[in-house]
Structure 1
Amino acid sequence: MVPFDLLIELNNIPVSLQVEQLDYLADEHGSMHYDVRINLRQAVVLVNIEDDPKHPDFSFEAIQAIEEDFTGEELLVIVQAIYDHNHRVSLPLNQLPLFKN
């Protein structure tokens, strides 16, 4: 639906991550599904886009392919990259020229 690429580091190796947002809007809990791919590795990750992954109470769910394509640590790096991407591209309404006082 909304694909984008991210450059991340997994196991001290830079990799290009292909991510596709699968939901139009976040659910009532602030979560969205993302299809994540690196070469032949793939997972569908449910990310709460409102909660910072660095917060101690943060949680996420991953629906992985038949084989465990990503470790838990790798998924945390991926979720953090998606969260950072979403917050970099979002612009608060009060910063839009239309809404300035």
Structure 2
Amino acid sequence: MFILSLTYTAELSEVDRHIEPHMDWVKNGYDRGVFLASGRKNPRTGGVILARGTRAEIEAIVAVDPFTIHGVADYEITEVAVTRTAPGLEGLTQ
């Protein structure tokens, strides 16, 4: 599993110009079965996505995020070997 932590590198007004295509990109990640959970950081300085796949797949997906393309956010990609979960979240260990 991967934790994608994105941090805005532009003013929120510039980020907001790209929010709709970014959300389409997020939806596509869910539709493809790659994204497991996502949301905004609080305070609103970026967001976090839980994802599955290979590092190469994740890096390729991040590369086509409109936030990446337009340079309004940077990503930190952290791989996690999940070994234990709460009941109902066993799928995260795959």
Question: Which of these two proteins has the greater Rg computed from alpha carbons?
Answer: 1
Q: Which has the higher contact order (CA 8 A, sep 6+)?
A: 2
- Of Structure 1 and Structure 2, the greater strand share is in 1
